[in-house]
Amino acid sequence: MIIFYHGLDGYRLSQAVKNLAEQYKEKYKHGLSASFIDAAESGALEALENSLKLNSLFNEVSLIILNNPFISTPISERIAKMLNDQDAQDRKDSVVVLVGEGDIAKTKHKSLMKLVANKKTKTQEFKPLSGSSLVGWITDEFKTRRCLADQAAAQEIIELVGDNSWDIIQEIDKLSNYSSSVGIEQVRALVSDRRNIGPFELIDAVVTRNYFKALSLLETELMRGRDPYNILGALTSHFRALLAVWDASEQGISQYDIASQSGLHPFVVRKAAASNRLFKPSEAKEMFAQLADLDRLVKDGQRILADELFVFLIRMGNIAN
């Protein structure tokens, strides 16, 4: 069986994957082999192939969760071939969950898209919420944390933070730990205004590979009160765009068409194209993989983000050298 989860709402997408894994673990308490693979990481394709070929003597069900299958055309083509060669769509002893964060509607990854578009594939898209749906989701998330929040508080969070689900959930966690009842006053007192801000100089330093300047700017941004999640998001978005533009450029697609097909702003496409002249694809993939790994570790409470951002920039310099 193949399941395809995708969409622009990163948090709800990740929660759906987490819930699915927990359901399978509960259903097959003594007979489940679970693999979590990120296609952006080195050795991912070999891990996928081994997991697909695994023949258990104990009739275990194999659950394979594969993140970032559309990271590049060569990788997606190999993934599609593996899944087809192993008859993954029709097998009952394995469940392959493909997780694609972002807008894949206009992707050029034809083989993998053909596979996920097949009627046998179970597909669910997670679109960003807005309006009353977003307000309702926020109040429900407070309830799951045994905290009551009125609609005015939810709307104020949206006003200050925006509609990014990861940003919102961080504020919900913070507020629900502060009080069991949250109103607009608590939101205004504890939630920072994230509108119209971005560590542009820091990203420019990274783009030009000036890592000493980037480290200095990172320290300055944090001292000024910049939210480290804002910096992490900006870095991740840059390298995601860089890889998308590199992949499209390899296919001979113009910058104008890249912008129209990907939904990226033309300025972002130009920036990414300029970065591609300074970064090898392998370097960009390694940096993106490190950011994705850092994101997971921080959300799991295993790392302190502000400290790890410095470590990441130092590693970038080592990769470049």
Whichever domain contains 254, its CATH number is 1.20.272.10
Residue 274 is part of which domain span? 200-320
Q: What is the pLDDT of residues 62-101, one digit of tens each?
A: 889 998 888 778 888 899 999 998 888 888 888 999 998 7
Q: Which of 51, 19, 23 is nearest to 36 (CA)?
A: 51
Question: Is residue 146 located within the same domain as residue 122?
Answer: no
Q: What is the pLDDT of residues 129-185, one digit of tens each?
A: 989 999 999 999 999 999 999 999 999 999 888 888 888 998 999 999 998 999 999
Question: Which of 84, 109, 126 is a domain's end point?
Answer: 126
Question: Is residue 183 located within the same domain as residue 97?
Answer: no
Task: Evaluate whether residue 280 is within a structural domain.
Answer: yes
Whichever domain contains 152, its CATH number is 1.10.8.60
Sorted by sequence, the CB contacts under 8 Å of residue 115 that are 6+ apart come out as 2, 80, 83, 84, 89, 121
Question: Is residue 21 located within the same domain as residue 93?
Answer: yes
**Total domain count for the chain?**
3
Q: Is the Cβ–Cβ distance between 228 and 197 less than 8 Å? A: no
Task: Evaluate whether residue 195 is within a structural domain.
Answer: no
Question: Which of 77, 105, 126 is a domain's end point?
Answer: 126
Task: Evaluate whether residue 65 is within a structural domain.
Answer: yes
Question: Is residue 169 located within the same domain as residue 244?
Answer: no
Q: What is the pLDDT of residues 239-260, one digit of tens each?
A: 888 888 888 777 777 766 666 5
Question: Is residue 20 located within the same domain as residue 122?
Answer: yes
Give the pLDDT of residue 19: 92
Question: Is residue 181 located within the same domain as residue 89?
Answer: no
Question: Is residue 109 located within the same domain as residue 135?
Answer: no
Task: Evaluate whether residue 308 is within a structural domain.
Answer: yes
89 is written with which tokens? 């769509």
